[in-house]
Structure 1
Amino acid sequence: MKDRYANLRRIRTQDPERDYLEIYQTMVRREFPWDSKLGLNLAFNRSFSLPRVAALHVATGELLRHTRKRVDDTGLLMYEMLLHGFDHPRGRESVRRINQIHHRYDIADEDYRYVLGCLVVVPIRWLGRYGWRAPCCHERAAAYHYYRQLGRRMGIDDIPGSYDEFAAWFDAYDAAQLRFSPQAARIEQATRALLRGRLPRPLAPVGDALVTAMYDDRLRAATGLTAAPVAVRVGLHVGLRLRAGLLRWAARPRRQPLFADGIRTPTYPDGYRISDLGPAGQ
Protein backbone atom coordinates (compact mmCIF):
# COMPACT_ATOMS: atom_id res chain seq x y z
CA MET A 1 0.00 0.00 0.00
CA LYS A 2 1.20 3.46 -0.85
CA ASP A 3 2.67 5.34 2.12
CA ARG A 4 -0.22 6.63 4.23
CA TYR A 5 1.94 9.25 5.94
CA ALA A 6 3.72 10.76 2.93
CA ASN A 7 1.64 13.96 3.06
CA LEU A 8 2.27 14.36 6.77
CA ARG A 9 6.03 14.02 6.31
CA ARG A 10 5.97 16.67 3.61
CA ILE A 11 3.85 18.99 5.76
CA ARG A 12 6.38 18.69 8.58
CA THR A 13 9.09 20.09 6.28
CA GLN A 14 7.03 23.19 5.50
CA ASP A 15 6.66 26.51 7.29
CA PRO A 16 3.03 26.95 8.48
CA GLU A 17 3.28 30.74 8.47
CA ARG A 18 4.59 30.87 4.88
CA ASP A 19 3.04 27.70 3.42
CA TYR A 20 -0.29 27.84 5.25
CA LEU A 21 -2.35 27.62 2.06
CA GLU A 22 -0.65 24.52 0.69
CA ILE A 23 -0.77 22.80 4.08
CA TYR A 24 -4.43 23.65 4.62
CA GLN A 25 -5.30 22.56 1.08
CA THR A 26 -3.62 19.21 1.71
CA MET A 27 -5.56 18.77 4.95
CA VAL A 28 -8.96 19.51 3.47
CA ARG A 29 -8.57 18.12 -0.02
CA ARG A 30 -6.40 15.03 0.55
CA GLU A 31 -5.93 13.99 4.18
CA PHE A 32 -9.37 14.63 5.76
CA PRO A 33 -11.92 15.56 3.07
CA TRP A 34 -15.11 14.15 4.64
CA ASP A 35 -14.15 15.09 8.19
CA SER A 36 -13.08 18.60 7.17
CA LYS A 37 -16.38 19.28 5.41
CA LEU A 38 -18.32 17.95 8.40
CA GLY A 39 -16.14 19.93 10.79
CA LEU A 40 -16.84 23.12 8.84
CA ASN A 41 -20.57 22.35 8.90
CA LEU A 42 -20.38 21.98 12.69
CA ALA A 43 -18.40 25.22 12.90
CA PHE A 44 -21.05 27.17 11.00
CA ASN A 45 -23.85 25.59 13.02
CA ARG A 46 -22.13 26.72 16.19
CA SER A 47 -21.56 30.24 14.90
CA PHE A 48 -25.22 30.46 13.80
CA SER A 49 -26.23 29.63 17.40
CA LEU A 50 -24.57 32.64 19.01
CA PRO A 51 -27.61 34.70 20.15
CA ARG A 52 -26.78 37.92 18.27
CA VAL A 53 -25.81 36.01 15.12
CA ALA A 54 -28.96 33.87 15.31
CA ALA A 55 -31.12 36.96 15.81
CA LEU A 56 -29.58 38.58 12.73
CA HIS A 57 -30.21 35.49 10.60
CA VAL A 58 -33.83 35.29 11.74
CA ALA A 59 -34.31 39.01 11.05
CA THR A 60 -32.99 38.74 7.48
CA GLY A 61 -34.86 35.46 6.91
CA GLU A 62 -32.38 34.22 4.31
CA LEU A 63 -31.24 31.18 6.26
CA LEU A 64 -34.83 30.21 7.09
CA ARG A 65 -36.44 30.80 3.68
CA HIS A 66 -33.57 29.74 1.43
CA THR A 67 -31.60 27.36 3.66
CA ARG A 68 -30.10 25.18 0.94
CA LYS A 69 -29.04 28.13 -1.21
CA ARG A 70 -27.67 30.10 1.75
CA VAL A 71 -25.53 27.20 2.91
CA ASP A 72 -24.41 26.35 -0.64
CA ASP A 73 -23.45 29.98 -1.26
CA THR A 74 -21.40 30.09 1.94
CA GLY A 75 -19.69 26.82 1.10
CA LEU A 76 -18.88 27.92 -2.44
CA LEU A 77 -17.30 31.16 -1.25
CA MET A 78 -15.24 29.30 1.35
CA TYR A 79 -14.07 26.62 -1.07
CA GLU A 80 -13.27 29.12 -3.83
CA MET A 81 -10.81 30.76 -1.44
CA LEU A 82 -9.42 27.39 -0.42
CA LEU A 83 -8.95 26.16 -3.98
CA HIS A 84 -7.33 29.31 -5.33
CA GLY A 85 -5.90 31.26 -2.39
CA PHE A 86 -6.61 34.81 -1.35
CA ASP A 87 -4.40 36.44 -3.98
CA HIS A 88 -5.89 34.63 -6.98
CA PRO A 89 -8.57 36.63 -8.86
CA ARG A 90 -11.29 34.17 -7.79
CA GLY A 91 -10.04 34.25 -4.22
CA ARG A 92 -10.04 38.05 -4.18
CA GLU A 93 -13.52 38.15 -5.71
CA SER A 94 -14.79 35.71 -3.07
CA VAL A 95 -13.43 37.84 -0.21
CA ARG A 96 -14.91 40.93 -1.82
CA ARG A 97 -18.30 39.20 -2.12
CA ILE A 98 -18.21 38.12 1.53
CA ASN A 99 -17.51 41.69 2.58
CA GLN A 100 -20.31 43.02 0.35
CA ILE A 101 -22.80 40.63 1.93
CA HIS A 102 -21.87 41.55 5.50
CA HIS A 103 -21.09 45.26 5.32
CA ARG A 104 -24.70 46.44 5.64
CA TYR A 105 -25.19 44.74 9.01
CA ASP A 106 -24.09 46.05 12.41
CA ILE A 107 -22.08 43.02 13.57
CA ALA A 108 -19.96 43.33 16.70
CA ASP A 109 -16.22 42.83 16.22
CA GLU A 110 -16.14 40.08 18.85
CA ASP A 111 -18.91 38.18 17.02
CA TYR A 112 -16.92 38.30 13.78
CA ARG A 113 -13.95 37.03 15.78
CA TYR A 114 -16.05 34.23 17.27
CA VAL A 115 -17.25 33.06 13.84
CA LEU A 116 -13.63 33.04 12.68
CA GLY A 117 -12.69 31.11 15.82
CA CYS A 118 -15.35 28.51 15.04
CA LEU A 119 -13.73 27.93 11.64
CA VAL A 120 -10.28 27.60 13.19
CA VAL A 121 -11.02 25.54 16.30
CA VAL A 122 -14.11 23.37 15.73
CA PRO A 123 -12.84 21.38 12.68
CA ILE A 124 -9.39 20.85 14.23
CA ARG A 125 -10.96 19.45 17.40
CA TRP A 126 -13.23 17.18 15.38
CA LEU A 127 -10.20 15.84 13.52
CA GLY A 128 -8.36 15.35 16.81
CA ARG A 129 -11.17 13.16 18.04
CA TYR A 130 -12.34 11.35 14.91
CA GLY A 131 -9.81 11.85 12.13
CA TRP A 132 -7.79 8.86 10.95
CA ARG A 133 -4.88 10.63 12.60
CA ALA A 134 -4.69 13.75 14.74
CA PRO A 135 -3.64 17.01 13.07
CA CYS A 136 0.00 17.83 13.76
CA CYS A 137 1.23 21.16 15.12
CA HIS A 138 2.05 22.37 11.59
CA GLU A 139 -1.52 21.67 10.47
CA ARG A 140 -3.06 23.44 13.46
CA ALA A 141 -0.81 26.43 12.84
CA ALA A 142 -1.57 26.45 9.10
CA ALA A 143 -5.33 26.43 9.74
CA TYR A 144 -4.85 29.36 12.12
CA HIS A 145 -2.75 31.36 9.63
CA TYR A 146 -5.20 30.64 6.80
CA TYR A 147 -8.16 32.03 8.73
CA ARG A 148 -6.09 34.84 10.17
CA GLN A 149 -5.45 35.97 6.60
CA LEU A 150 -9.17 35.75 5.86
CA GLY A 151 -9.90 37.74 9.02
CA ARG A 152 -7.48 40.46 8.01
CA ARG A 153 -9.11 40.75 4.60
CA MET A 154 -12.48 41.07 6.31
CA GLY A 155 -11.19 43.80 8.61
CA ILE A 156 -11.50 41.72 11.79
CA ASP A 157 -9.38 43.26 14.55
CA ASP A 158 -7.55 41.77 17.53
CA ILE A 159 -7.22 38.24 16.18
CA PRO A 160 -5.26 36.23 18.79
CA GLY A 161 -1.62 35.57 17.92
CA SER A 162 -1.51 31.77 17.58
CA TYR A 163 -3.73 28.71 17.34
CA ASP A 164 -3.46 28.04 21.07
CA GLU A 165 -4.25 31.66 21.94
CA PHE A 166 -7.22 31.67 19.58
CA ALA A 167 -8.51 28.38 21.04
CA ALA A 168 -8.26 29.81 24.57
CA TRP A 169 -10.07 33.02 23.52
CA PHE A 170 -12.71 30.99 21.69
CA ASP A 171 -13.40 28.78 24.71
CA ALA A 172 -13.77 31.77 27.03
CA TYR A 173 -16.11 33.64 24.67
CA ASP A 174 -18.10 30.49 23.93
CA ALA A 175 -18.60 29.83 27.65
CA ALA A 176 -19.70 33.41 28.28
CA GLN A 177 -21.91 34.01 25.23
CA LEU A 178 -23.30 30.75 23.86
CA ARG A 179 -26.64 30.40 25.61
CA PHE A 180 -30.20 29.49 24.66
CA SER A 181 -32.15 31.71 22.32
CA PRO A 182 -35.36 30.84 20.43
CA GLN A 183 -33.78 32.25 17.27
CA ALA A 184 -30.88 29.80 17.56
CA ALA A 185 -33.35 26.94 17.97
CA ARG A 186 -35.13 28.00 14.74
CA ILE A 187 -31.87 28.24 12.83
CA GLU A 188 -30.70 24.84 14.06
CA GLN A 189 -33.94 23.19 12.95
CA ALA A 190 -33.61 24.79 9.53
CA THR A 191 -30.00 23.67 8.99
CA ARG A 192 -29.89 20.22 10.59
CA ALA A 193 -31.20 18.53 7.44
CA LEU A 194 -27.95 19.50 5.75
CA LEU A 195 -25.92 17.77 8.46
CA ARG A 196 -28.13 14.71 8.13
CA GLY A 197 -27.17 14.69 4.47
CA ARG A 198 -23.52 14.09 5.45
CA LEU A 199 -24.45 10.75 7.02
CA PRO A 200 -24.42 7.42 5.16
CA ARG A 201 -27.85 6.58 3.77
CA PRO A 202 -28.38 3.44 5.93
CA LEU A 203 -28.25 5.70 9.02
CA ALA A 204 -31.11 7.93 7.82
CA PRO A 205 -33.69 6.50 10.30
CA VAL A 206 -31.59 7.73 13.24
CA GLY A 207 -30.22 10.80 11.45
CA ASP A 208 -31.75 13.38 13.77
CA ALA A 209 -30.45 11.64 16.87
CA LEU A 210 -26.98 11.30 15.33
CA VAL A 211 -26.85 15.01 14.48
CA THR A 212 -27.81 15.88 18.06
CA ALA A 213 -25.13 13.47 19.32
CA MET A 214 -22.50 15.43 17.36
CA TYR A 215 -23.25 18.53 19.43
CA ASP A 216 -21.64 19.12 22.80
CA ASP A 217 -23.67 20.03 25.90
CA ARG A 218 -23.27 23.79 25.43
CA LEU A 219 -24.43 23.77 21.81
CA ARG A 220 -27.41 21.56 22.65
CA ALA A 221 -28.39 23.94 25.44
CA ALA A 222 -28.05 26.94 23.12
CA THR A 223 -30.40 25.37 20.59
CA GLY A 224 -32.88 23.88 23.07
CA LEU A 225 -32.05 20.24 22.40
CA THR A 226 -31.98 17.36 24.85
CA ALA A 227 -29.19 14.80 24.70
CA ALA A 228 -29.50 11.98 22.21
CA PRO A 229 -30.10 8.49 23.68
CA VAL A 230 -27.02 6.92 25.24
CA ALA A 231 -27.04 4.09 22.68
CA VAL A 232 -26.90 6.63 19.83
CA ARG A 233 -24.08 8.64 21.45
CA VAL A 234 -22.03 5.52 22.14
CA GLY A 235 -22.77 4.09 18.70
CA LEU A 236 -21.69 7.31 17.00
CA HIS A 237 -18.44 7.47 18.96
CA VAL A 238 -17.57 3.81 18.40
CA GLY A 239 -18.54 3.94 14.74
CA LEU A 240 -16.41 7.01 14.06
CA ARG A 241 -13.43 5.55 15.92
CA LEU A 242 -13.73 2.30 13.95
CA ARG A 243 -13.89 4.31 10.74
CA ALA A 244 -10.76 6.19 11.76
CA GLY A 245 -8.93 2.91 12.37
CA LEU A 246 -9.99 1.48 9.02
CA LEU A 247 -8.85 4.61 7.22
CA ARG A 248 -5.53 4.56 9.06
CA TRP A 249 -4.65 0.93 8.47
CA ALA A 250 -6.57 -0.18 5.37
CA ALA A 251 -7.35 2.84 3.18
CA ARG A 252 -5.18 4.13 0.37
CA PRO A 253 -4.18 7.79 0.22
CA ARG A 254 -6.63 9.81 -1.84
CA ARG A 255 -5.61 9.80 -5.53
CA GLN A 256 -7.66 12.82 -6.60
CA PRO A 257 -8.04 15.81 -4.30
CA LEU A 258 -11.46 16.97 -3.23
CA PHE A 259 -13.04 19.25 -5.89
CA ALA A 260 -10.58 18.10 -8.57
CA ASP A 261 -13.47 18.32 -11.06
CA GLY A 262 -14.88 21.54 -9.62
CA ILE A 263 -17.34 22.25 -6.84
CA ARG A 264 -20.80 20.76 -7.27
CA THR A 265 -23.84 21.90 -5.28
CA PRO A 266 -27.58 21.16 -5.63
CA THR A 267 -28.34 24.88 -5.99
CA TYR A 268 -26.12 25.38 -9.06
CA PRO A 269 -26.11 22.18 -11.15
CA ASP A 270 -24.99 24.16 -14.21
CA GLY A 271 -22.34 26.28 -12.52
CA TYR A 272 -22.34 29.70 -10.90
CA ARG A 273 -20.74 33.13 -10.87
CA ILE A 274 -19.18 34.35 -7.64
CA SER A 275 -20.99 37.67 -8.02
CA ASP A 276 -24.34 35.81 -7.88
CA LEU A 277 -23.60 34.08 -4.57
CA GLY A 278 -25.40 35.44 -1.53
CA PRO A 279 -28.71 37.29 -1.11
CA ALA A 280 -30.16 38.89 -4.23
CA GLY A 281 -29.65 42.61 -4.49
CA GLN A 282 -26.53 42.75 -2.32
Structure 2
Amino acid sequence: MRWAPPESRSRHAIRDHIEANLDPVEDHQEITFLSTCYDFPWDTQRALELALIRVFGIARSSRLLARTGEFLERTQKRYDDTVLILSEMLENGYDSERGRAALRRMNQQHRRHTIPNDEYLYTLSTFVFEPVRWNERFGWRPLTEKEKLATYHYWKRVGALMNIADIPPSYEAFERFNVDFEAEHMRFSEDNRKLAVATRDLLLSWVLPGPLRPLGARVAHAMLDDRLLDALGLPRPAPALRRLVEGAIRARVPVLRAMPRRRSPRLLTMKKTRTYPDGYRIEDLGAR
Protein backbone atom coordinates (compact mmCIF):
# COMPACT_ATOMS: atom_id res chain seq x y z
CA MET A 1 0.00 0.00 0.00
CA ARG A 2 1.21 3.48 -0.81
CA TRP A 3 -0.48 6.80 -0.06
CA ALA A 4 -0.06 9.38 -2.81
CA PRO A 5 1.13 12.87 -1.84
CA PRO A 6 -0.37 16.06 -3.27
CA GLU A 7 0.98 17.17 -6.64
CA SER A 8 2.10 20.58 -5.40
CA ARG A 9 5.85 20.99 -4.93
CA SER A 10 5.33 23.56 -2.18
CA ARG A 11 7.48 22.88 0.88
CA HIS A 12 4.29 22.81 2.95
CA ALA A 13 2.20 20.72 0.54
CA ILE A 14 2.13 17.67 2.83
CA ARG A 15 1.10 19.72 5.85
CA ASP A 16 -1.56 21.58 3.91
CA HIS A 17 -2.95 18.35 2.41
CA ILE A 18 -3.20 16.75 5.84
CA GLU A 19 -4.87 19.80 7.34
CA ALA A 20 -7.40 20.17 4.53
CA ASN A 21 -8.28 16.58 3.70
CA LEU A 22 -7.38 14.01 6.35
CA ASP A 23 -8.69 12.95 9.75
CA PRO A 24 -6.22 11.97 12.50
CA VAL A 25 -8.34 9.00 13.59
CA GLU A 26 -9.69 7.59 10.34
CA ASP A 27 -6.61 8.44 8.26
CA HIS A 28 -3.87 7.90 10.85
CA GLN A 29 -1.90 5.51 8.65
CA GLU A 30 -1.86 7.89 5.71
CA ILE A 31 -0.95 10.91 7.81
CA THR A 32 1.86 9.06 9.59
CA PHE A 33 3.22 7.75 6.28
CA LEU A 34 3.17 11.15 4.55
CA SER A 35 4.62 13.03 7.49
CA THR A 36 7.33 10.47 8.20
CA CYS A 37 8.40 9.43 4.70
CA TYR A 38 8.14 12.81 2.97
CA ASP A 39 8.59 15.67 5.44
CA PHE A 40 10.57 14.13 8.33
CA PRO A 41 12.34 10.91 7.28
CA TRP A 42 15.78 11.72 8.71
CA ASP A 43 14.36 13.33 11.83
CA THR A 44 12.02 10.43 12.58
CA GLN A 45 14.80 7.87 12.22
CA ARG A 46 17.05 9.82 14.60
CA ALA A 47 14.19 10.27 17.06
CA LEU A 48 13.40 6.55 17.08
CA GLU A 49 17.07 5.77 17.68
CA LEU A 50 16.84 8.02 20.74
CA ALA A 51 13.65 6.20 21.71
CA LEU A 52 15.56 2.93 21.63
CA ILE A 53 18.31 4.33 23.83
CA ARG A 54 15.68 5.79 26.15
CA VAL A 55 14.22 2.33 26.75
CA PHE A 56 17.70 1.25 27.89
CA GLY A 57 17.35 3.70 30.80
CA ILE A 58 14.69 1.49 32.40
CA ALA A 59 16.59 -1.03 34.54
CA ARG A 60 13.67 -3.48 34.70
CA SER A 61 13.61 -3.72 30.90
CA SER A 62 17.35 -3.73 30.32
CA ARG A 63 17.90 -6.93 32.32
CA LEU A 64 16.01 -8.96 29.74
CA LEU A 65 17.50 -7.09 26.78
CA ALA A 66 21.01 -7.73 28.06
CA ARG A 67 20.29 -11.37 28.93
CA THR A 68 19.15 -12.24 25.41
CA GLY A 69 22.48 -10.98 24.02
CA GLU A 70 20.83 -9.61 20.88
CA PHE A 71 21.73 -5.96 21.48
CA LEU A 72 25.18 -6.75 22.89
CA GLU A 73 26.44 -9.51 20.58
CA ARG A 74 24.43 -8.89 17.40
CA THR A 75 23.82 -5.15 17.69
CA GLN A 76 23.73 -4.39 13.97
CA LYS A 77 21.36 -7.26 13.20
CA ARG A 78 19.02 -6.37 16.05
CA TYR A 79 18.96 -2.75 14.92
CA ASP A 80 18.27 -3.68 11.28
CA ASP A 81 15.60 -6.22 12.24
CA THR A 82 13.79 -3.69 14.42
CA VAL A 83 13.92 -0.95 11.78
CA LEU A 84 12.71 -3.26 9.01
CA ILE A 85 9.82 -4.74 10.98
CA LEU A 86 8.56 -1.31 12.03
CA SER A 87 9.11 0.11 8.54
CA GLU A 88 7.20 -2.72 6.85
CA MET A 89 4.15 -1.77 8.90
CA LEU A 90 4.53 1.98 8.44
CA GLU A 91 5.39 1.99 4.74
CA ASN A 92 2.96 -0.69 3.56
CA GLY A 93 0.25 -0.37 6.20
CA TYR A 94 -0.12 -2.63 9.23
CA ASP A 95 -3.17 -4.18 7.54
CA SER A 96 -1.37 -4.98 4.26
CA GLU A 97 0.00 -8.44 3.53
CA ARG A 98 3.58 -7.39 4.33
CA GLY A 99 2.47 -5.32 7.30
CA ARG A 100 0.59 -8.27 8.80
CA ALA A 101 3.61 -10.52 8.21
CA ALA A 102 5.90 -8.04 9.99
CA LEU A 103 3.47 -7.73 12.90
CA ARG A 104 3.21 -11.51 13.12
CA ARG A 105 7.01 -11.81 13.19
CA MET A 106 7.29 -9.17 15.91
CA ASN A 107 4.69 -10.92 18.04
CA GLN A 108 6.50 -14.24 17.57
CA GLN A 109 9.69 -12.64 18.90
CA HIS A 110 7.97 -11.15 21.92
CA ARG A 111 6.19 -14.37 22.86
CA ARG A 112 9.58 -15.93 23.59
CA HIS A 113 9.84 -13.80 26.73
CA THR A 114 7.68 -12.74 29.66
CA ILE A 115 7.45 -8.97 29.39
CA PRO A 116 5.23 -6.94 31.76
CA ASN A 117 2.46 -5.01 30.09
CA ASP A 118 3.62 -1.66 31.45
CA GLU A 119 7.04 -2.15 29.82
CA TYR A 120 5.33 -2.74 26.48
CA LEU A 121 3.30 0.41 27.09
CA TYR A 122 6.38 2.48 27.89
CA THR A 123 8.23 1.34 24.77
CA LEU A 124 5.15 2.09 22.68
CA SER A 125 4.91 5.54 24.24
CA THR A 126 8.48 6.39 23.20
CA PHE A 127 7.54 5.74 19.57
CA VAL A 128 4.81 8.35 19.93
CA PHE A 129 6.54 11.06 21.93
CA GLU A 130 10.24 10.96 21.04
CA PRO A 131 9.55 12.08 17.42
CA VAL A 132 7.31 14.85 18.79
CA ARG A 133 10.01 16.00 21.22
CA TRP A 134 12.71 15.82 18.55
CA ASN A 135 10.52 17.95 16.29
CA GLU A 136 10.06 20.54 19.03
CA ARG A 137 13.84 20.83 19.33
CA PHE A 138 15.00 20.46 15.74
CA GLY A 139 12.10 20.30 13.28
CA TRP A 140 12.15 22.48 10.15
CA ARG A 141 8.43 23.08 10.77
CA PRO A 142 6.25 22.25 13.77
CA LEU A 143 4.21 19.09 13.68
CA THR A 144 0.52 19.91 13.49
CA GLU A 145 -1.97 18.68 16.05
CA LYS A 146 -3.36 16.32 13.42
CA GLU A 147 0.09 14.79 12.88
CA LYS A 148 0.62 14.33 16.61
CA LEU A 149 -2.80 12.75 17.09
CA ALA A 150 -2.34 10.52 14.03
CA THR A 151 0.93 9.24 15.47
CA TYR A 152 -0.84 8.40 18.71
CA HIS A 153 -3.69 6.59 16.92
CA TYR A 154 -1.24 4.74 14.67
CA TRP A 155 0.77 3.32 17.56
CA LYS A 156 -2.35 2.75 19.64
CA ARG A 157 -3.65 0.48 16.88
CA VAL A 158 -0.31 -1.30 16.48
CA GLY A 159 -0.24 -1.79 20.25
CA ALA A 160 -3.71 -3.32 20.16
CA LEU A 161 -2.56 -5.69 17.41
CA MET A 162 0.32 -6.66 19.70
CA ASN A 163 -2.22 -7.44 22.44
CA ILE A 164 -0.92 -4.67 24.68
CA ALA A 165 -3.55 -3.92 27.29
CA ASP A 166 -4.63 -0.67 28.96
CA ILE A 167 -3.31 1.73 26.33
CA PRO A 168 -4.26 5.18 27.64
CA PRO A 169 -7.36 6.50 25.87
CA SER A 170 -5.94 9.86 24.71
CA TYR A 171 -2.73 11.49 23.55
CA GLU A 172 -2.55 13.51 26.76
CA ALA A 173 -3.11 10.49 29.01
CA PHE A 174 -0.44 8.49 27.20
CA GLU A 175 2.03 11.36 27.58
CA ARG A 176 1.29 11.48 31.33
CA PHE A 177 1.93 7.74 31.51
CA ASN A 178 5.26 8.19 29.69
CA VAL A 179 6.43 10.95 32.03
CA ASP A 180 5.27 9.18 35.20
CA PHE A 181 6.79 5.84 34.18
CA GLU A 182 10.19 7.43 33.61
CA ALA A 183 10.02 9.27 36.93
CA GLU A 184 9.39 5.99 38.73
CA HIS A 185 11.54 3.52 36.80
CA MET A 186 14.42 5.35 35.07
CA ARG A 187 17.30 4.25 37.29
CA PHE A 188 20.93 3.26 36.67
CA SER A 189 22.02 -0.31 36.18
CA GLU A 190 25.12 -1.78 34.58
CA ASP A 191 22.93 -3.48 31.98
CA ASN A 192 21.63 -0.05 30.98
CA ARG A 193 25.16 1.16 30.39
CA LYS A 194 26.24 -1.87 28.38
CA LEU A 195 23.23 -1.67 26.07
CA ALA A 196 23.56 2.07 25.55
CA VAL A 197 27.30 1.91 24.82
CA ALA A 198 26.87 -0.95 22.35
CA THR A 199 24.14 0.90 20.46
CA ARG A 200 25.91 4.26 20.60
CA ASP A 201 29.11 2.74 19.26
CA LEU A 202 27.21 1.02 16.45
CA LEU A 203 25.59 4.29 15.35
CA LEU A 204 28.92 6.12 15.48
CA SER A 205 30.67 3.38 13.48
CA TRP A 206 28.51 4.22 10.46
CA VAL A 207 29.78 7.79 10.18
CA LEU A 208 33.13 8.11 11.97
CA PRO A 209 36.53 6.37 11.79
CA GLY A 210 37.76 4.80 15.00
CA PRO A 211 39.98 7.67 16.20
CA LEU A 212 37.08 10.15 16.06
CA ARG A 213 34.54 8.01 17.89
CA PRO A 214 35.42 9.23 21.41
CA LEU A 215 34.61 12.76 20.23
CA GLY A 216 31.49 11.43 18.53
CA ALA A 217 30.43 9.84 21.82
CA ARG A 218 30.63 13.21 23.57
CA VAL A 219 28.50 14.76 20.82
CA ALA A 220 25.96 11.92 21.13
CA HIS A 221 25.76 12.40 24.90
CA ALA A 222 25.00 16.09 24.35
CA MET A 223 21.73 15.10 22.67
CA LEU A 224 20.50 13.21 25.76
CA ASP A 225 19.00 14.76 28.87
CA ASP A 226 20.77 14.48 32.20
CA ARG A 227 18.29 12.06 33.80
CA LEU A 228 18.73 9.62 30.93
CA LEU A 229 22.52 10.00 30.96
CA ASP A 230 22.59 9.25 34.69
CA ALA A 231 20.40 6.17 34.18
CA LEU A 232 22.75 4.97 31.45
CA GLY A 233 25.90 5.68 33.46
CA LEU A 234 27.20 8.05 30.78
CA PRO A 235 28.96 11.36 31.55
CA ARG A 236 27.04 14.61 31.38
CA PRO A 237 28.41 16.97 28.70
CA ALA A 238 29.57 20.49 29.38
CA PRO A 239 26.71 22.97 28.88
CA ALA A 240 28.70 24.70 26.14
CA LEU A 241 29.02 21.46 24.18
CA ARG A 242 25.29 20.78 24.52
CA ARG A 243 24.51 24.26 23.16
CA LEU A 244 26.98 23.78 20.30
CA VAL A 245 25.53 20.41 19.26
CA GLU A 246 21.93 21.55 19.44
CA GLY A 247 22.79 24.73 17.55
CA ALA A 248 24.52 22.75 14.81
CA ILE A 249 21.45 20.56 14.26
CA ARG A 250 19.16 23.60 14.23
CA ALA A 251 21.40 25.25 11.64
CA ARG A 252 19.91 22.95 9.00
CA VAL A 253 16.43 24.41 9.49
CA PRO A 254 16.71 27.42 7.10
CA VAL A 255 18.19 25.20 4.41
CA LEU A 256 15.41 22.63 4.73
CA ARG A 257 12.71 25.29 4.71
CA ALA A 258 14.05 26.69 1.43
CA MET A 259 14.05 23.35 -0.37
CA PRO A 260 11.14 21.95 -2.40
CA ARG A 261 9.44 18.99 -0.82
CA ARG A 262 10.47 15.43 -1.53
CA ARG A 263 9.08 14.05 -4.77
CA SER A 264 9.28 10.43 -3.61
CA PRO A 265 9.08 8.86 -0.14
CA ARG A 266 12.17 7.73 1.70
CA LEU A 267 11.45 4.05 2.27
CA LEU A 268 13.76 2.17 4.63
CA THR A 269 12.42 -1.16 3.35
CA MET A 270 13.90 -0.33 -0.05
CA LYS A 271 17.37 0.56 1.22
CA LYS A 272 20.24 -1.90 1.52
CA THR A 273 21.10 -2.72 5.11
CA ARG A 274 24.39 -3.90 6.52
CA THR A 275 22.83 -7.15 7.72
CA TYR A 276 20.88 -7.86 4.52
CA PRO A 277 22.79 -6.29 1.58
CA ASP A 278 21.03 -8.62 -0.87
CA GLY A 279 17.54 -8.20 0.57
CA TYR A 280 15.60 -10.00 3.28
CA ARG A 281 12.55 -12.09 4.00
CA ILE A 282 10.27 -10.92 6.77
CA GLU A 283 10.21 -14.39 8.31
CA ASP A 284 14.01 -14.22 8.72
CA LEU A 285 13.96 -11.02 10.77
CA GLY A 286 14.61 -11.32 14.49
CA ALA A 287 16.30 -13.92 16.63
CA ARG A 288 16.32 -17.57 15.57
TM-score (norm 2): 0.92
Distance 1:222 1:260 in 2: 31
RMSD in angstroms over aligned alpha carbons? Answer: 1.8
Superimposed CA distance per residue, residues 223-267 of structure 1 (whole angstroms, 9 cap, x where no aligned partner) = 01121133321111111221122212x222112210288132110
Distance 2:16 2:205 in 1: 33
Contact 2:223 2:246 in 1 (8 A): no
* 1:219 aligned onto 2:228: yes
Superimposed CA distance per residue, residues 158-198 of structure 1 (whole angstroms, 9 cap, x where no aligned partner) = 11112222111100111111111110000001100233357
Aligned with 1:257 (options 256, 265, 269): 265
Superimposed CA distance per residue, residues 112-156 of structure 1 (whole angstroms, 9 cap, x where no aligned partner) = 000000111111110121010111100000110110011001100
TM-score (norm 1): 0.94
Aligned-pair identity in percent equals 41
Task: Map residues 79-94 of structure 1 onto 2, 5 A cutoff.
Answer: 79-94=87-102
Distance 1:2 1:155 in 2: 40
> SS of the residue aligned with 2:55?
helix
Q: Which residues of structure 1 form unaligned runs of 5+?
A: none
Contact 1:38 1:198 in 2 (8 A): no
> SS of the residue aligned with 2:252?
helix
For residue 113 of structure 1, what is the aligned residue in structure 2?
121
Contact 2:140 2:254 in 1 (8 A): yes
Aligned with 2:56 (options 39, 42, 48): 48
Task: Map residues 1-282 of structure 1 onto 2, 5 A cutoff.
Answer: 2-13=9-20, 14-196=22-204, 206-248=215-257, 250-259=258-267, 262-280=270-288
Distance 2:116 2:214 in 1: 40
Superimposed CA distance per residue, residues 4-46 of structure 1 (whole angstroms, 9 cap, x where no aligned partner) = 1111011112101011111101111100111000001111111
Give every structure 1 segment of 4 or more consecutive aligned residues whose post-TM-superposition deviation is greater than 3 Å.
Answer: 197-201
